[in-house]
Structure 1
């Protein structure tokens, strides 16, 4: 880093300010125990103040009067959540009147650095080396587009798995020792806590976007189309960034029922290992991940609500303006009816219009029109069968079928849904699926992948190719 960047961080970074604060041990000790060590989320002011009061009482026990921590717990919370500090986030949850507090990413960074200063009983390197090597394999082989190389790698893996199976069948296998288990468990625990801290940072980024959208809406005086374009562009940029794509993939992973069951089973079996002094809080860490991810998704939904509220307010303002204009016209009409002007209306003209007599055209006799009634016109026969063969697609039925298959806050492939509900109205029904515009349903097309779909209509059963479509439900 450049010297100027370090100097700027020292002046503005909330994490750096916390490390230099006089009461840094109190802040790190209490907030770390409340939000980090216990994997806790936002808490009400009354509950958090009570915990801080108990923490201060326990911290002051046995200390000299000059060394004791004094002050009001609520005063501490207000000081820590002030803009100059930035270690706590103070907010009102939707529908609640009680102030809530939550730790900020800046505090997470400071607390993580302080905890890294502790002397570890053992430093494990084997598990990290295996993890690094595995990451290198994924990058190298994942970026390789050579088909032959991939096939050779898969054959090599199959040979290694078959050799391992043969060794296990012969009773020749090694059981991981206690040192290796403890090393890997330590690496898992630290990574799990870092993941929760990452969620807070992602949530803070989305919250900054939401705050920026509110500021733009409050101060915007131009066309609403331009504002919506700017807001949607910012939202799309974050969603398509590396951070947004990674968060979405992680959230989809957590929504998988099979993955949840696998994580629960693995964590339960790890807790039962005698070689480990397992932390009981790690037993439900995957639920903490889900809660943190859901809080982030709630922030994203609030951003969408800002767009909707902005449009509704603009429509209300425009309708109100139209009504005011109509009332002004009605009032002016009533005034003219009750007191009409005696001299008429005065209209300003730029010049006097002059019309000379000879400018008028002379009389021109038009020739008489001849009508021949002897021509007979036949009645053309029209084919009306097309009027009775129209295909009407029931969009309500299609939406109900999608809601039956796709649970809330999840997604599914349209091709899999069509296997459960075959197309009855041919291509028209397929187009109806793609054109659904319900609030909780959305259909996205992936032009890079193609799927085959079977259609039954008057032409018989046939198969058509279409881009892969994904149905998402909010």
Structure 2
């Protein structure tokens, strides 16, 4: 890390983020939205609403002139190519046109680095030293080439295990050290957080490969075989690299049902320990299995996009080759027409193969296939039906994003609110379907509680002004 290297790093997004005037706003909001909640991607409208609420609270405490722009403008600037603090993209399997936002690896590294400045509960050194010693010991054991030394080591471990079994059978069980339990748990939590952070970098590496393939396809004039050979060579190099093999081994272990069950059992046992419950920790390890599955799935989807790009390339190349063949056939037909109008004087200017009868068997004919694009010769006339068609135009749609915005707005000045109180503040407009939508939001949210032991009555008016009621379990939304 010399002087010129540091000068070049000044254009890195992480360095630009630390130098930005609004760095406290950017880092605090992104940490609150992505890191604290352990979310990989957030829809644009939801993130805009969160930022508007966050800016509203900052203006109340810091002045109305603080951060005067709208949240959507800030997010677009942070995701622009000049900044690169966020990644704005459209998912491949998305039905609508709403983009998603995700942290870039550079931004996550800045947040992780600044989080290290906070005062920790205590700094554990013994577990880290034992971890270093254990890793070095495993490396030395795995690389040992002398069979006798490996046998002696295994015999020593066997003797230690037999001695431990004998102590347990005799009732001698050494109590565990609460300090070491806390120390190891905090180390496991930091390692899990770093693992989730590394997945964004792995995804970025595969995305860079996909972007490089697209650029090479665009500017390359080489043949299809040479292009595919180069692309597959690069993909194999990444797959067979240390990073690729490590990710493949991780994904194989995580997709094993027995491994998942074992991990879940260990987590439930560890999180129930009194020493762990006395610590101030988040819910990261409690849902680490689902977070890892989500992060690994995003990496696999990025690899799938690379394969899809290769498929499109092959389809385009085949279309270009067929077009060239048709051009050659057309040139031959034009030449034949020109020769027919002015035949050469020599009668034997060309020869043909002897004609043979063509045999066409009935069973060799293909089955009927409907046209992919049917040709409609006549414009269809407008039909008439003996039913009331107004029901087709009287449908309504319940927008869950609007309902979520109501919940967030109602919780700005309070810690929790019940559904009955919420509908008093925002009356039900679309009947029972809107109430059911609130239940659906509560069932999917981690910040909602459905109390089956307590009932509440939801009241609304229908289109004709008649009062309707629904008795249901109490639903409470919290911040």
> Is residue 334 of structure 1 aligned with residue 337 of structure 2?
yes
CA contact (8 A) 1:271 1:280 kept: no
Match of 1:80 in 2: 78
Aligned residue in 1 for 2:54: 55
Aligned to 2:235: 235
| Deviation of 1:282 (Å) | 1.9
- Structure 1 residues 388-436: Cα deviation after superposition (integer angstroms, max 9, x where no partner): xxxxxxxxxxxxxxxxxxxxxxxxxxxxxxxxxxxxxxxxxxxxxxxxx
Q: Does 2:40 correspond to 1:41?
A: yes
Displacement after TM superposition at 1:341 (Å)? 5.5
Q: CA deviation at 1:178?
A: 2.6
Residue 177 of structure 1, CA deviation: 3.1
CA distance, structure 2, for counterparts of residue 223 and residue 275 of structure 1? 65
The two structures have a TM-score, normalised by structure 2, of 0.68
> For residue 368 of structure 1, what is the aligned residue in structure 2?
none
Task: Provide the residue aligned with 1:273 in structure 2.
Answer: 273
Whole-Å Cα distance in 2 between the matches of residues 22 and 161 of structure 1?
Answer: 60
Q: How does 1:180-329 map to 2 (within 5 A)?
A: 180-276=180-276, 277=279, 278-329=281-332
SS at structure 2 position matched to 1:292: helix
SS of aligned partner of 2:274 = coil
Deviation at 1:343, TM superposition (A): 7.2
Q: Deviations over 1:52-79 (max 9, x none)?
A: 112222333332334x332111111111
**1:342 to partner: Cα distance:** 8.3
Q: How many Å separate the matches in 2 of 1:191 and 1:259?
A: 18
Whole-angstrom distance in 2 between the partners of 1:64 and 1:13: 32
Where 2:207 maps in the other structure, the secondary structure is helix
SS in 1 for 2:158: helix
- The CA distance in 1 between the partners of 2:337 and 2:141, in whole Å, is 82
How far has the Cα of 1:108 moved from its partner?
1.1
Indicate if the aligned counterparts of 1:56 and 1:69 stay in contact, CA closer than 8 A. Answer: yes
Aligned length, in residue pairs:
343
Matched-pair contact (CA < 8 Å) for 1:90–1:99: yes
Aligned position for 1:438: none
- Label 1:342 to 1:248 Cα distance change in 2 as closer, same or farther (>3 A): closer
- Residue 332 of structure 1 deviates from its aligned partner by 3.3
CA shift digits 1:156-182 (9 cap, x unpaired): 111111111122222322232332222
Q: Equivalences for 1:12-161 in 2 at 5 Å? A: 12-66=11-65, 68-96=66-94, 97-161=97-161
C-alpha distance 342-245 of structure 1, shift in aligned 2 (>3 A)? closer
Instruction: Say if 1:43 and 1:100, in contact at 8 Å, map to a contact too.
Output: yes
Counterparts of 2:175 and 2:283, CA distance in 1: 24
- After superposition, the C-alpha distances for 1:215-262 in whole angstroms (9 at most, x for unaligned) are 111111121222112111111111111111111111111111111111
Q: Deviations over 1:49-106 (max 9, x none)?
A: 112112222333332334x332111111111111121111111111432221110110
Distance 2:344 2:194 in 1: 85
Where in structure 1 are there 5+ consecutive unaligned residues?
348-474
1-structure distance, mates of 2:346, 2:299: 68
1:346-391 Cα shifts (integer Å, max 9, x gaps): x9xxxxxxxxxxxxxxxxxxxxxxxxxxxxxxxxxxxxxxxxxxxx
Report the Cα distance in structure 1 between the residues aligned to 2:270 and 2:333, rounded to whole angstroms.
79
Q: Which deviations, in whole Å up to 9, do the C-alpha atoms of 1:95-152 show, x marking residues without a partner?
A: 4322211101101110111000111121111111111111011110011121111111
Once the 2 structures are TM-superposed, how far is the Cα of residue 31 of structure 1 from its aligned partner? 1.0
Alpha-carbon deviation of 1:286?
1.7
Aligned residue for 2:329, secondary structure, equals helix
Q: What's the offset of the Cα at 1:275? A: 1.7
Gap change, CA 1:43 and 1:233, over 3 Å in 2:
same
Measure the CA separation in 2 of the matches of 1:146 and 1:60: 70
- Provide the C-alpha distance between the structure 1 equivalents of 2:17 and 2:54, rounded to a whole number of angstroms: 19
Q: Distance in 2 between matches of 1:58 and 1:152?
A: 66
SS of 1:101 mapped into structure 2: strand
Structure 2 alignment gaps of length 5 or more = 350-479
Deviates more, 1:88-97 or 1:14-23: 88-97
Once residues 74 and 346 of structure 2 are traced to their aligned partners in structure 1, the CA distance between those partners, rounded to angstroms, is 77
CA separation of 1:47/1:330 partners in 2, compared to 1, >3 Å: closer, same or farther?
same
Asked if structure 1 preserves the Cα contact closer than 8 Å seen for 2:189 and 2:284, the reply is no
- For 1:202 and 1:261, the matched residues in 2 are separated by 26
Partner-residue secondary structure (3-state), 1:61: helix
Alpha-carbon distance between aligned partners in 2 of 1:182 and 1:70, rounded to the nearest angstrom:
45
Q: Matched residues in 2 for 1:144 and 1:287: separation?
A: 38
- Single out whichever of 111-120 and 51-60 deviates more from structure 2: 51-60
**Please, what is the CA RMSD of the aligned residues?**
1.9
Out of 121-130 and 105-114, give the one that drifted further: 121-130
The structure 1 segments of at least 4 consecutive aligned residues displaced by more than 4 Å after TM superposition are 341-345
